[in-house]
Amino acid sequence: MSAPAAPTGENMLSNLFANVPPNHGLRTGALPYHPASLAAAAALGVALCIAVSGCQTPELPPIMPTAEDANATNSIALHEGDALQIKFPSAPEMDSVQVIRADGKITILNAGEVKVSGMTPGEAQKAILDKAGKLLKVPEVSVTVQSSAFIVYVTGSVMKPGKLISDRPLTVLQAVIESGIDPAKSNLKKVKVIRTDASAHNGYKVINLKDIFDGVAWQGEPFALKPYDIIVVPEKFTWF
């Protein structure tokens, strides 16, 4: 004989109302009419749905660490959004100002795409020469950072949600502090970073900032923010 199906949150809520004594002002089999009671019942129904039925949206896939993450905290590392002035002494017609795209690449005239995100300017020069060297009479190139804008978005339980613009890479901790946190409301144990890759796929990483505040050493893989990451600071859940 098969086991009976687990009751849904809706059924449990109906059974709860059916068993409430008349002097509580609730009608059997129906929602209460008093606004305060209605709000309380709705909140209880949501809690029961989550607890019993597990009704929640699917999780995003995790952000996988890359070789760039170990070096991305270096302040001289190039990143998406940087504007680079590129000059070729023996081929001035190839000179240009390039902004590093979201895929970490720039385009060199007659040579094609070169990935430079995560590199130092010196490493970027070598990568460009590897790609364009055969087109040059003299294999020389200079790469200068003309401007830098590191943009991330912070939302959730912070005092100043929205776009955060910096002239240097930020850590998750720095971005959250810059946006303002309320220790009484901000759940720093489960700060989520959402990232969209070049293929428009979303991934996430959960960071325990409370441990960092408490001086607990980071035990996971090296992780660094990238431009246009979204940081979500959840609110602490409290029972009334």
Q: What is the pLDDT of residue 31?
A: 40
Q: Is residue 75 part of a domain?
A: no
Residue of 169, 177, 178, 174 lying closest to 151 (CA atoms): 169
Q: What is the pLDDT of residue 183?
A: 82
Mark whether 193 and 206 lie in a shared domain: yes
Say if CB 229 and CB 195 are below 8 A apart.
Answer: yes
Residue 232 belongs to what H/E stretch? strand 230-233
What's the total number of domains in the chain? Answer: 3
**More confident of the two residues 3 and 13:** 3
Q: Which residue has the tokens 């998750």?
A: 172
Give the domain range for residue 30.
Answer: 9-53
Mean pLDDT of 109-137: 94
Q: What is the pTM of this model?
A: 0.55
Return d(Cα 187, Cα 169) in angstroms, integer: 24
Q: What is the pLDDT of residue 177?
A: 94
Return d(Cα 192, Cα 194) in angstroms, integer: 6
Mark whether 187 and 199 lie in a shared domain: yes
Q: How many CA atoms lie within 13 A of 37 on its CB side?
A: 11
Q: Is residue 69 part of a domain?
A: no
- The pLDDT of residue 23 is above 50: no
Return d(Cα 3, Cα 98) in angstroms, integer: 65
Q: What is the pLDDT of residue 215?
A: 82
**In the beta sheet, which residues pair with residue 142?**
87
Mark whether 164 and 213 lie in a shared domain: yes
Mean pLDDT (the chain) is 77
CATH number of the domain where residue 223 is located: 3.10.560.10
CATH number of the domain where residue 129 is located: 3.30.1950.10
Q: What is the pLDDT of residue 57?
A: 52
Mark whether 155 and 182 lie in a shared domain: yes
Q: Which residue has the tokens 């020389």?
A: 140
Mark whether 112 and 157 lie in a shared domain: no
- The pLDDT of residue 32 is above 90: no
Mark whether 176 and 161 lie in a shared domain: yes
Would you state the structure tokens that stand for residue 163, as one six-digit string?
């776009």
The conformation of residue 50, written as its DSSP 8-state character, comes to I
- The pLDDT of residue 172 is above 50: yes
- The pLDDT of residue 58 is above 80: no
